[in-house]
Amino acid sequence: MYQAIKGGQLQLLNSSQVNSIHENAERLLGEVGMQIKCRQAFEIFEKNGADCDAASEIVRIPRAMLEKAIKTAPSRVIIHGRNENHDVLLEKNRVHYGTGGTVMYVNDFETGKKRNAATHDIRDFAILTDALENLAFYVIHTYPGDVREEDADVNRFYWAITNTVKPIMGGMYTMKGLREAIRISEMAAGGADKLRERPFVSFITLMVSPLVMDWHYTDFLIEVAKKGLPLAVPSEPLAGATSPVTLAGTIAINLAETLAGLTLAQLITPGCPTLIGSTSSIMDMSTGTYSGGAIESAMINAGMAQMAQHYDLPIYGTGGQSDSKLNDAQAGYESACQAMAVGLSGSNWIHDSAGLLENCTTVSYEKTVIDNEIIGNVLRVMRGVEATDETLAFDVINEVGPSGNFLAHDHTVEHVRSEFFFPKVSDRRNRAVWEEDGGLDAHARAHGIAAKILAGHRPTPPVDPKLRAEIRRAFPGIKGEDL
């Protein structure tokens, strides 16, 4: 099991505000309602006693139905790795970081120039994620532009499953692709029952703001829920555009929308492992565009984490993005501020936390390595200060005495690796040594780290070559070369 660190040190909302947001979300669902464009979802709500208007497609979810769904949904969800050491337990304020988003572009590893993402990027980012110690999971975050649309899903999941043993999550584009991704996962697990016992894949479905379940994502939600596999049901309100400009109003509508998704999943399969969630941010009012790196995005997601803890539900959150076009200072401070705020809030599954640039449209190999180090710093802060007789070290201080030195003391040797964070990207040497070694900046150092990982790291255990061949025979739409 992955050793998670607990958050919850940051509480943006007081108890009165939590209760007010809860009441507003219940009223939004019970009085305003959701527009349900998916016919089978509409019928499920209608069959179970929701207030349904077929002409307007509006479904109003009664308070009792919502409260039952919240109680029925598991408070504890495990998304497994193919290697059990990477199993991720999601509950209360246990924090995990990973990749995320679905971007169309990649900063090429060799040239640094922006280009369309390809199947080999899915493979290579899976390898990178598998090796980076502070990333707990791989949300497949590139869309392969070198395959047909109907083959995108099967390629995304094949290249993820065969190149990381960490938990995998992904969004879907076609029902055919979803079913193929589940089938590949079953083959890799050794059968459908074994996948249900230890699901190492999970799926993202999305509520559409404001207050809509469209037919596309909702069909996917129903399919996954029927299988009993883990799914996330986030919504993505954009403050000032598809939700109120006020953060409290955005949190309330975000909460209502994601709870509607949770309710549907529980009506289909009671106890289905479901993560409520947020991918919310703001509209930049000076440009009229989505802002991924805004600090308000982190605040909305931190507020949502508090609401999840109020309901004792696991949450899929967002934090660590940047709007910068380059892997520069802006990329660093935006990602660090977001990762710190959302982590300290106790969000459980923090995606989009590694590699994203340019309003979440482009991913960088080097930034993934740098973000792994940012997350390492954040996790060190969250671990806090341990104050015991051993760590207060009175006897050690007494022994060393005034004008002494602690460097060679056994106490230092025993505790230094647990007390200090040891960076791999940051350079703390003096200037003369740094210049003699090439004077590389953080981007160049991260490039070197990524190059070593991509050249030499492979997941353990690997997927058997015979199974790979069997999968590729069954799904000829899979493109690219296995390593």
CA distance 304 to 292: 17
Q: How many domains does the chain have?
A: 3
Residue 454, domain member (yes or no) = no
Indicate whether 121 and 80 sit together in one domain.
yes
pLDDT of residue 361: 96
Domain boundary (31, 48, 69) is at 69
Indicate whether 360 and 235 sit together in one domain.
yes
Residue 324 sits in a domain of what CATH number? 3.20.20.480
Residue 59, domain member (yes or no) = yes
Residue 441, domain member (yes or no) = no
Domain of residue 407, residue span: 389-419
- Report yes or no: 373 and 424 within 8 Å, Cβ to Cβ: yes
Token code pair at residue 212:
């809509």
Indicate whether 25 and 132 sit together in one domain.
no
Statement: residue 54 has pLDDT above 90 = yes
pLDDT of residue 251: 98
Residue 173, domain member (yes or no) = yes
pLDDT of residue 236: 96
Q: Which residue's entry shows tokens 């940012």? A: 374
Indicate whether 63 and 90 sit together in one domain.
no
Average pLDDT of every residue of the chain: 97
Residue-wise pLDDT tens digits, 209-234:
999 999 999 999 999 999 999 999 99
Domain boundary (69, 84, 110) is at 69
Indicate whether 92 and 108 sit together in one domain.
yes
Indicate whether 116 and 98 sit together in one domain.
yes
pLDDT of residue 64: 98
pLDDT of residue 221: 98
Residue-wise pLDDT tens digits, 390-431:
999 999 999 999 999 999 999 999 999 999 999 999 999 999
Residue 466, domain member (yes or no) = no
- Residues 6+ away with beta carbon under 8 Å from 163: 122, 123, 124, 126, 127, 130, 459, 483
pLDDT of residue 171: 96
Indicate whether 174 and 43 sit together in one domain.
no
Q: Quote the radius of gyration of the chain (alpha carbons, Å).
A: 23
- Pairing between strand 77-79 and 231-235? unpaired
Indicate whether 57 and 90 sit together in one domain.
no
Statement: residue 2 has pLDDT above 90 = no
Residue-wise pLDDT tens digits, 348-389:
999 999 999 999 999 999 999 999 999 999 999 999 999 999
- Residues 6+ away with beta carbon under 8 Å from 305: 7, 93, 315, 317, 342, 345, 346, 347, 348
pLDDT band (50, 70, 90) for residue 39: very high
Indicate whether 118 and 260 sit together in one domain.
yes
Residue 253, domain member (yes or no) = yes
Question: For the stretch 394-422, what's the b/e string if a residue is b when 16 or more beta carbons lie within 10 angstroms of its beta carbon?
Answer: eebeeeeeeeeeeeeeebeeebeeeeeee
Residue of 315, 235, 302 lying closest to 273 (CA atoms): 315
pLDDT band (50, 70, 90) for residue 3: confident
Token code pair at residue 37:
């464009």
Residue-wise pLDDT tens digits, 304-359:
999 999 999 999 999 999 999 999 999 999 999 999 999 999 999 999 999 999 99
pLDDT band (50, 70, 90) for residue 465: very high
Token code pair at residue 325:
């076009």
pLDDT of residue 1: 87
pLDDT of residue 450: 98
pLDDT of residue 483: 86
- Residues 144-158 have a mean pLDDT of 97
Residue 433, domain member (yes or no) = no
Statement: residue 92 has pLDDT above 90 = yes
SS3 94: strand
Indicate whether 399 and 374 sit together in one domain.
no
Indicate whether 30 and 132 sit together in one domain.
no
Residue 138 — φ and ψ, nearest 5°? -120, 100
HSE (side-chain half, CA atoms, 13 Å) at 408? 2
Statement: residue 182 has pLDDT above 90 = yes
- Residues 251-268 have a mean pLDDT of 98
- Report yes or no: 233 and 169 within 8 Å, Cβ to Cβ: no
The strand ranges marked E within 380-469 are none
Residue 464, domain member (yes or no) = no
Indicate whether 290 and 233 sit together in one domain.
yes
